[in-house]
């Protein structure tokens, strides 16, 4: 925590920050500003809104309310703004069965400084593979998008708003279908499109599990870690960064061309176009769904369950729960979560 940022607040002052536009809480005589985080809270914004302006020390220890992993305390450290004034400080008993406060269990940063450009830190690093894989999967939070490069032009190419995906891929999908009509009738194209759309769910699972989460199988060395970090590691390190939640078109196009090359060896023209269009539709739905799972909210039980399932992959167990739009393939291949929520 930066001493330069330390300030002291009375409990009455904190209590005035009790709404969505300014949401503060106290935990262990420390003050945290959750204004930019409450909509991204894995358990939903409504849980934090219940305790806006209040002391949440005991609430965070209460498994009946909402159990918290160590990552929650790490994110909390990122949102620290100061201390409770001496006259308002309280004494808190240690958690049952523990000799340490939860916040003390969060080690000081030995990895990347989220407040500085990330790429050069990775490029100049000398982490062991074991250390890198462990640290990159510890979630952090910033109130604004992280900075990759000091150079503003390079930085611009690292950021992808959610709306870029349909703007880029929908015309390609439509073009594929129009070209397909030169070779096959509409009913055949429809079958191919549906087949591609359904097939995307397996492809989504496979890419996430075997490409994005190559993890422990990456070679030792900084170059391999940089590649892993750019491909998917940064998403686990900063899971709520709104400009790194959908795949940049350059990367998705590279993957798509490789997939198209494989499909061209299997399908004839026409059917190839239809299946590729179905896969493109599935990809658009996947990336938009992925963005929503991190930043959306709903009262629908099924969608809430899907959101909780994916965020559990980020905040509790990155070695399971690889399905994004459903848990179907996790159940088929035995990669569903095995520990209780």
- Percent of the chain at pLDDT > 90 equals 68
So what's the pLDDT on residue 6?
65
Reported confidence tier of residue 299, pLDDT bands at 50, 70, 90: confident
Other CB atoms within 10 A of residue 316 CB: 18
pTM greater than 0.85 (yes/no): no
Per residue in 48-90, pLDDT (tens digit) is 888 999 998 888 876 554 556 666 777 888 888 999 999 999 9
Residue 74 or residue 291, greater confidence: 291
Per residue in 164-208, pLDDT (tens digit) is 999 999 999 999 999 999 999 999 999 999 999 999 999 999 999
Per residue in 301-333, pLDDT (tens digit) is 898 899 989 989 998 899 999 999 999 999 999
Per residue in 243-283, pLDDT (tens digit) is 999 999 998 999 999 999 999 999 999 999 999 999 999 99
Q: CA torsion angle for 134, 155, 249, 36 (degrees, to 10)?
A: 60
When mean pLDDT is compared across 5-19, 113-127, 160-174, the lowest value belongs to 5-19
So what's the pLDDT on residue 101?
67
Domains and CATH numbers, the chain: 3-82 (3.10.120.10), 152-333 (no CATH)
């Amino acid at each position: 925590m930066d001493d330069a940022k330390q300030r002291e607040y009375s409990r009455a002052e904190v209590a005035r920050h009790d709404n969505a536009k300014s949401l503060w809480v106290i935990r262990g005589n420390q003050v945290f500003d959750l204004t930019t985080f409450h909509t991204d809270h894995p358990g939903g914004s409504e849980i934090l809104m219940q305790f806006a302006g209040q002391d949440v020390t005991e609430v965070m220890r209460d498994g009946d309310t909402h159990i918290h992993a160590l990552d929650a305390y790490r994110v909390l450290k990122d949102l620290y703004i100061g201390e409770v004034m001496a006259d308002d400080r309280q004494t808190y008993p240690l958690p049952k069965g523990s000799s340490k406060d939860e916040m003390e269990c969060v080690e000081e940063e030995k990895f990347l400084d989220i407040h500085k450009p990330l790429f050069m830190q990775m490029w100049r690093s000398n982490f062991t593979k074991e250390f890198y894989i462990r640290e990159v999967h510890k979630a952090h939070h910033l109130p604004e998008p992280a900075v990759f490069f000091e150079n503003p032009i390079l930085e611009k190419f690292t950021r992808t708003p959610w709306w870029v995906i349909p703007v880029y891929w929908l015309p390609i999908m439509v073009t594929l279908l129009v070209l397909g009509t030169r070779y096959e009738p509409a009913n055949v194209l429809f079958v191919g499109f549906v087949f591609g759309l359904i097939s995307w769910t397996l492809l989504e699972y496979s890419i996430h599990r075997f490409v994005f989460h190559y993890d422990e199988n990456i070679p030792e060395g900084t170059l391999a870690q940089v590649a892993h970090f750019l491909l998917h590691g940064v998403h686990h390190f900063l899971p709520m960064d709104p400009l790194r939640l959908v795949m940049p078109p350059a990367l998705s196009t590279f993957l798509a061309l490789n997939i198209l090359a494989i499909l061209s060896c299997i399908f004839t023209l026409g059917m190839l176009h239809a299946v590729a269009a179905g896969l493109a539709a599935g990809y658009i739905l996947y990336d938009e769904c992925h963005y929503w799972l991190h930043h959306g909210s709903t009262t629908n039980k099924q969608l809430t369950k899907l959101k909780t399932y994916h965020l559990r992959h980020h905040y509790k167990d990155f070695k399971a729960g690889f399905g994004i739009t459903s848990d179907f393939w996790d159940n088929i291949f035995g990669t569903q979560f095995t520990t209780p929520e």
